């Protein structure tokens, strides 16, 4: 029997909050205040890998949370497989701080270390995106979405979600050319995600219960 989706969304929001908090704590631990024997400008410049990893990771995690929030506005019921798919999304999301820490520690390392740490980091993001798509596909297939959701809007959201792992995979391929360039491409993709597209929250009008057919268009 399908159940209400509110508990799943609340739990997911808690995981995102913990991930963002852990990232901030990691940034404090790697801050220039702990670098002895350096002037502040030099210490700040020396810590650039930590800042780069933080900015990209915060952007990606924020993008994932925003997409998750937008998607779950339309989910009114959940079943066991959808809960499992959502847990797998959160599995990759929770791993982002770990892979980001590896990345910041190895951006000055050998080419092999750079590529391996960047591949683990970007592979984590790619895995999240794939299971995110699977969650949406399953919710549509099992009719767990709001019954008044416009089918055209649902298809537009599906196309949008499907494009994300394809773009991530393209950026991922650049790991083997230049790891830092690959990360910059991911950051650009995060910027592109801020452009309003089908399924996003409306700009001004508040949501009205029972009127989801045109929301986010």
pLDDT score at 198: 59
Q: What's the pLDDT tens digit per position in 157-175?
A: 888 888 888 888 888 788 7
What's the average model confidence in pLDDT over 92-98?
A: 89
| Tokens at 3, concatenated | 């159940």
pLDDT of residue 36: 59
User: How would residue 196 be classed by pLDDT, with cut points 50, 70 and 90?
Assistant: low
pLDDT at res. 211? 47
Q: Which residues contact 106 (CB under 8 A, 6 or more apart)?
A: 113, 114, 116, 117
Query: CA nearest 82: which of 144, 14, 12?
Result: 144
Taking all residues of the chain, what is their mean pLDDT, rounded to a whole number? Answer: 80
pLDDT over 90 percentage in the chain: 22
| Phi (first) and psi of residue 33, to 5 degrees | -65, -20
pTM: 0.80
Specify the higher pLDDT residue, 69 or 204.
Answer: 69
């Amino acid at each position: 029997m399908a159940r209400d989706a509110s508990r799943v969304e609340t739990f997911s929001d808690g995981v995102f909050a913990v991930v963002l908090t852990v990232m901030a704590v990691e940034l404090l631990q790697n801050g220039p205040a702990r670098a002895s024997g350096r002037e502040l400008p030099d210490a700040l410049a020396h810590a650039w890998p930590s800042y780069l990893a933080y900015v990209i990771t915060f952007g990606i995690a924020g993008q994932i949370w925003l997409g998750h929030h937008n998607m779950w506005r339309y989910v009114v019921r959940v079943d066991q497989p959808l809960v499992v798919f959502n847990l797998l999304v959160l599995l990759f999301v929770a791993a982002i701080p770990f892979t980001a820490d590896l990345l910041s520690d190895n951006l000055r390392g050998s080419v092999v270390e750079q590529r391996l740490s960047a591949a683990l980091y970007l592979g984590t993001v790619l895995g999240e995106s794939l299971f995110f798509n699977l969650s949406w596909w399953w919710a549509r297939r099992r009719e767990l979405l709001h019954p008044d959701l416009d089918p055209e809007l649902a298809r537009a959201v599906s196309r949008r979600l499907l494009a994300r792992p394809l773009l991530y995979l393209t950026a991922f391929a650049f790991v083997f050319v230049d790891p830092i360039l690959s990360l910059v491409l991911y950051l650009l993709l995060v910027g592109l995600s801020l452009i309003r597209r089908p399924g996003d929250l409306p700009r001004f009008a508040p949501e009205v219960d029972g009127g989801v057919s045109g929301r986010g268009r």
